[in-house]
Amino acid sequence: MKRLGLVIAAFALAAAPAAAQNAGEIARVQGGASCPGCNLFQADLSYRDLPGLNLSGARLRQADLSLATMNRANFSGADLSVANLFGGRFTSASFRNANLSNATLVGAYFGAADFSGANLSGANLGGAEMERVRGLTQGQLNAACGDAWTRLPAGLRVSPCR
């Protein structure tokens, strides 16, 4: 009987959902409220004007920030892996120590944004405007890809996406 209880407990744990998105937190951010450390998994923030938000340490994995304007936003330490930042505006935003692995940054504008310590492994920077960013290193770019339209600080380069 004890063994059956262990088997049932194991199935219950396996069936439990992973840390799913928090609809209330997503709605607050969509309305323009800061939410550091929030669970914004797969949040739809596309086409929104959300300047100056503090989303430091937030989980934005697979979030859609396409064509959003999030100037001066704080994404420090946030998980933006597999997120879509296509065509967004992130002037003076902080991506310090953020995880942008496998994210799409295609055509986004990052004037004066801070990328110190950001993980760009597998990120697509095609056509991104990054000439004035701070903290970006060749090592970070070696793990990412871009194209002929990617604009980088002088002396830095990115390999083409395949």
Question: So what's the pLDDT on residue 7?
Answer: 38
How is the chain classified by DSSP, letter by letter? Answer: -HHHHHHHHHHHHHHSPPS---HHHHHHHHTT---TT-B-TT-B-TT-B-TT-B-TT-B-TT-B-TT-B-TT-B-TT-B-TT-B-TT-B-TT-B-TT-B-TT-B-TT-B-TT-B-TT-B-TT-B-TT-B-TT-BS--HHHHHTSBB-TT-B--TT---PBP-
Q: What is the average pLDDT value for the chain, to the nearest integer? A: 91
Whether the pLDDT of residue 1 is over 60: the answer is no
Domains of the chain: 41-155 (2.160.20.80)
pLDDT at 19: 63
Apex 61 CA angle, 41 and 118, nearest 5: 145
Q: pTM for the full model? A: 0.88
Q: Calculate mean pLDDT across residues 133-147.
A: 98
pLDDT of residue 100: 99
**pLDDT (tens digit, 9 = 90+) per residue, 87-137?**
999 999 999 999 999 999 999 999 999 999 999 999 999 999 999 999 999
Q: From the CA atom positions of the chain, what is the Rg in Å?
A: 18
* pLDDT of amino acid 21: 86
